[in-house]
């Protein structure tokens, strides 16, 4: 059977050509990288440098490239990606050749920056392409093939570089190993661009403004913890990668060819493990993304233990097998690590998510530099032990990712992809939806899978006793609290995890039951503070203030008074007026009637009705069923953090199993408004 047909079978019938093409690009990239890593001591010696100085050069090279990579990755999220991937390959091939011609340290640094830039930009683009070439059911396997290229390139790069350098010098290694890059570019240029978001929903059909990219990605809970964990992982990979060749050269007096052989042997461990790991990763991801993440954490715990003892190996014959095991452990999880980012980030932001991560991961250079210092002053064993502790800290961030990833993957549910998906069977537009929303405070869970569906233009009551989770639900919707699980969609856009200032800018405003005022400020000052989103537009602010005083005329004579001197009903009107200033699409009102006289409640009900007629959708938290019946046609009833009832408010009167006498007393009788 031909290799491509075997690959098709491995990918469960999916087209093998894109995987083969991306494998080739990734492999030739690794040839250059492996040459520089494993010939590091030889190159450093030719310039009269040691592990510390040469390590600093390596880190400086890696720092510059990600900063330049971000604009290219932003472009890749807006334009065709295959030409960018091929251009990047041409760049690192050119600068790999330039490395061979660098006869001063400055020229070498420039050449390595150029080569690193090509690789750094290309990798996010390749991952974005692979995610659109292959569906989630086989994506880990496909990315396992892609990750295998790192190993193949590392093995042939280490062996080839070592052999060439042994006989012709290290410069010849860079020159000769640049040739496969040219051949690969010619071979893969016919691969067609895949459809962006072919298997998951696009969260933004139009390209986001550049200033919106990072906030949107950071609001995805598992994405930001992947970034945090990556800082520690990069510290270990960078620090260990720079130290390893010097460790074997200085401790065991290994030459260029010997270093290449050691690198190849270690790569064999990663090669075998990567194939196994891809299948295991796919099985775990198909079961649940969190299962895959927990598996990564468990492997990292083992790596920490092995890495801690590696540098104290008494002989070469013990050190090399331990290195083989370390490479195998990383190979086991490399397909899953690559797959996670493609599952978490929106399809239209995948390249940007990875390139931004690369910049954040530059912080890993700090502990990597510390490890280099420890290697020079205390010895290699203590340097590796230090890196084991660094990885241990990052592993706990990986465990945090497992808390959120299922919900973050679910937010790209195709059911929320377009306008049609946001309407129900009656054609009504679905403005707000929550799915499986869970929230905990200090480890105590208070919401248990809350599902809400709010249609545009309606008034919905959220009922229940104290402690039922009503206010927490509102706070999870507008971003005041972070959900542990589940998602919130507003206008079909996932807003889970977004902070209050962003949800408010989208049109969600919360009126916190008379508590949203500053008692020491005047009524007018409170109103101006409430209009913070439009404060720079003086004309609009003046027009809105005039409009709101037309809707709330009772506030006009109170403008110069301190808000703390107002009655309960007046305070509640002030809170509603603040909300109306921002012209929200959705108004969340928490405890409208609490502690107020019946006549005041009736006035407030009339005001809410008036706001609703202005086009504002209202969700009203209430304890009084009577108030809910007066104002809302539909209600949700919550008890102990769960929704126990959803339907017309009138039907609640027939649910004796839900209602308690406290709900039916202490509130005004229903009246027309």
Q: Which structural domains are found in the chain, ordered by start?
A: 16-187+210-410 (1.20.1250.20), 424-664 (3.40.50.300)
Q: Which two tokens stand for residue 485?
A: 């699980």
pLDDT mean over 15-19: 91
- Percent of the chain having pLDDT more than 90? 16
Helix axes 221-252, 256-287, angle to 10 degrees: 160
Lowest mean pLDDT among 102-116, 124-138, 631-645: 102-116
Kindly tell me if the per-residue pLDDT of 669 is higher than 70.
Answer: no
From the list 69, 121, 114, the residue with the least C-alpha distance to 91 is 114
Using alpha carbons only, give the angle 467, 473, 474 rounded to the nearest 5 degrees. 115
83-95 pLDDT per residue, tens? 988 888 888 788 8
- Beta partners for 274? none
Q: Which two tokens stand for residue 614?
A: 């202005």
Please tell me the chain's helix, strand, coil percentages from 3-state DSSP, rounded to the nearest 5: 65, 10, 25
Whether 152 and 122 have beta carbons less than 8 Å apart is answered as no
567-581 pLDDT per residue, tens? 877 787 788 787 777
- Beta partners for 463? 622, 637
Question: pLDDT-derived band of residue 58, with 50, 70 and 90 as boundaries?
Answer: low
For the chain, how big is the Rg over CA atoms in Å?
Answer: 30
616-668 pLDDT per residue, tens? 899 988 777 777 777 888 889 888 889 988 888 777 766 766 665 344 444 44
- Percent of the chain having pLDDT more than 70? 89
Kindly tell me if the per-residue pLDDT of 23 is higher than 70.
Answer: yes
CA distances from residue 424 to 83, 124, 433, 462, 573 in whole angstroms, order as listed: 42, 38, 12, 20, 34
Kindly tell me if the per-residue pLDDT of 564 is higher than 50.
Answer: yes
Q: Of 290-304, 467-481, 608-622, give the range with the top mean pLDDT.
A: 290-304
What is d(CA 156, CA 148) in angstroms, rounded to the nearest whole number? 12
Per-residue pLDDT, 52? 63
Fill in the DSSP letter of residue 417.
S
- At 647, which helix (H) or strand (E)? strand 642-648
Sequence-ordered list of residues with C-beta below 8 angstroms from that of 464, at least 6 positions apart, any chain = 470, 623, 637, 638, 639
Q: Which two tokens stand for residue 92?
A: 């690192």
Report phi then psi at 637, rounded to 5: -110, 125
Per-residue pLDDT, 673? 36
300-355 pLDDT per residue, tens? 999 999 999 998 988 888 988 999 989 889 888 888 888 888 889 888 898 889 88
Q: Of 327-331, 512-516, 605-609, give the range with the top mean pLDDT.
A: 327-331
Please tell me the number of Cα atoms within 13 Å of 672 on its side-chain side.
Answer: 0
Entry pTM: 0.76
Q: Which two tokens stand for residue 360?
A: 């954040």
What is d(CA 100, CA 664) in angstroms, rounded to the nearest whole number? 85
Kindly tell me if the per-residue pLDDT of 534 is higher than 90.
Answer: no
State how far Cα 597 lies from the chain centre: 48
366-388 pLDDT per residue, tens? 999 899 899 989 999 999 999 99
Whether 473 and 638 have beta carbons less than 8 Å apart is answered as yes
161-202 pLDDT per residue, tens? 778 888 888 888 888 877 888 888 888 888 899 998 888 877
Q: Average pLDDT over the chain, rounded to whole? A: 82
Per-residue pLDDT, 661? 38
* Bigger pLDDT: 477 vs 114: 477
* Bigger pLDDT: 485 vs 656: 485
Sequence-ordered list of residues with C-beta below 8 angstroms from that of 335, at least 6 positions apart, any chain = 140, 141, 143, 144, 146, 147, 274, 277, 278, 281
Question: pLDDT-derived band of residue 440, with 50, 70 and 90 as boundaries?
Answer: confident
Per-residue pLDDT, 178? 79
Per-residue pLDDT, 667? 43
Per-residue pLDDT, 604? 76
Kindly tell me if the per-residue pLDDT of 670 is higher than 50.
Answer: no
Q: Rounded to the nearest 10 degrees, how much is the dihedral formed by the CA atoms of 414, 416, 418, 424?
A: 120
Sequence-ordered list of residues with C-beta below 8 angstroms from that of 401, at least 6 positions apart, any chain = 222, 225, 226, 229, 293, 340
What is d(CA 125, CA 88) in angstroms, rounded to the nearest whole number? 10
Hunting for tokens 């008034």 — which residue is that? 459
Using alpha carbons only, give the angle 427, 433, 437 rounded to the nearest 5 degrees. 155
Q: Which two tokens stand for residue 540?
A: 């609009």
Per-residue pLDDT, 164? 85
């Amino acid at each position: 059977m031909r290799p491509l047909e075997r690959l098709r079978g491995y990918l469960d019938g999916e087209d093998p050509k894109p995987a083969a093409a991306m494998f080739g690009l990734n492999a030739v990239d690794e040839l250059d990288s492996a040459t520089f890593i494993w010939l590091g001591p030889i190159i450093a010696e030719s310039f009269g440098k040691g592990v510390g100085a040469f390590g600093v050069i390596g880190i400086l090279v890696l720092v510059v490239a990600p900063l330049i990579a971000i604009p290219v990755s932003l472009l890749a999220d807006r334009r065709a990606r295959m030409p960018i991937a091929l251009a990047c390959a041409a760049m690192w091939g050119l600068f790999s050749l330039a490395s061979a011609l660098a006869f001063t340290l400055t020229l070498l640094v420039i050449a390595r920056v150029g080569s690193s830039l090509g690789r750094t930009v290309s990798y996010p683009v390749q991952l974005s392409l692979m995610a659109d070439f292959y569906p989630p059911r086989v994506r880990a396997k496909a990315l396992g093939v892609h990750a295998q290229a790192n190993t193949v390139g590392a093995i042939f790069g280490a062996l080839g570089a070592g052999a060439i350098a042994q006989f012709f010098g290290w410069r010849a290694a860079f020159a000769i190993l640049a040739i496969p890059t040219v051949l690969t570019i010619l071979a893969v240029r016919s691969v067609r661009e895949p459809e962006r978001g072919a298997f998951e929903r696009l969260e933004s059909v139009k390209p986001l403004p550049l200033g919106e990219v990072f906030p949107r990605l950071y609001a995805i809970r598992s994405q930001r913890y992947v970034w945090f964990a990556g800082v520690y992982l990069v510290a270990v990979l960078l620090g260990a990668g720079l130290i390893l060749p010097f460790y074997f050269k200085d401790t065991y007096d290994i030459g260029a060819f010997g270093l290449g052989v050691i690198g190849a042997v270690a790569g064999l461990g990663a090669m075998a493990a990567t194939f196994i790991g891809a299948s295991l990763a796919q099985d775990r991801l198909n079961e649940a993304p969190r299962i895959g993440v927990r598996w990564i954490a468990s492997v990292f715990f083992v790596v920490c233990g092995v890495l801690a003892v590696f540098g104290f190996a008494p002989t070469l014959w013990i050190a090399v097998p331990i290195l083989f095991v370390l490479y195998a452990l990383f190979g086991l999880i490399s397909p899953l690590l690559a797959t996670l980012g493609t599952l978490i980030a929106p399809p239209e932001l995948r390249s940007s998510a990875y390139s931004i991560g690369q910049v954040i991961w530059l912080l890993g250079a700090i502990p990597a530099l510390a490890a280099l210092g420890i290697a020079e002053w205390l010895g290699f064993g203590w340097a590796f032990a230090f890196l084991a502790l660094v990885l241990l800290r990052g592993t706990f961030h990986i465990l945090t990712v497992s808390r959120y990833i299922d919900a973050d993957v679910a937010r790209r549910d195709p059911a929320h992809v377009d306008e049609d998906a946001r309407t129900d069977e009656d054609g009504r537009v679905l403005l707000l939806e929550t799915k499986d929303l869970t929230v905990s405070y200090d480890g105590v869970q208070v919401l248990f899978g809350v599902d809400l569906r709010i249609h545009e233009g309606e008034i919905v009551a959220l009922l229940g006793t104290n402690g039922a989770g009503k206010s927490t639900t509102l706070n999870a919707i507008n971003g005041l609290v972070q959900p542990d699980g589940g998602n919130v969609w507003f206008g079909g856009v996932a807003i889970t995890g977004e902070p209050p200032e962003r949800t408010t800018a989208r049109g969600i405003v919360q009126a916190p039951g008379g508590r949203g005022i500053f008692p020491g400020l005047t009524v007018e000052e409170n109103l101006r503070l409430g209009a913070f989103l439009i404060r720079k537009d003086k004309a609009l602010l003046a027009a809105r203030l005039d409009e709101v005083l037309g809707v709330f005329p009772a506030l006009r004579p109170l403008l110069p008074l301190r808000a703390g001197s107002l009655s309960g009903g007046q305070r509640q009107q002030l809170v509603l007026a603040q909300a109306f200033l921002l012209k929200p699409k959705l108004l969340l009102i928490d405890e409208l009637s609490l502690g107020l006289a019946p006549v005041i409640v009736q006035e407030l009900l009339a005001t809410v009705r008036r706001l609703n007629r202005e086009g504002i959708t209202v969700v009203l938290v209430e304890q009084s069923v009577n108030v809910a019946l007066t104002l809302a046609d539909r209600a949700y009833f919550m008890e102990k953090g769960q929704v126990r009832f959803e339907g017309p408010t009138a039907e609640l009167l027939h649910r004796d199993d839900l209602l308690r006498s406290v709900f039916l007393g202490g509130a005004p009788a229903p009246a027309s408004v």
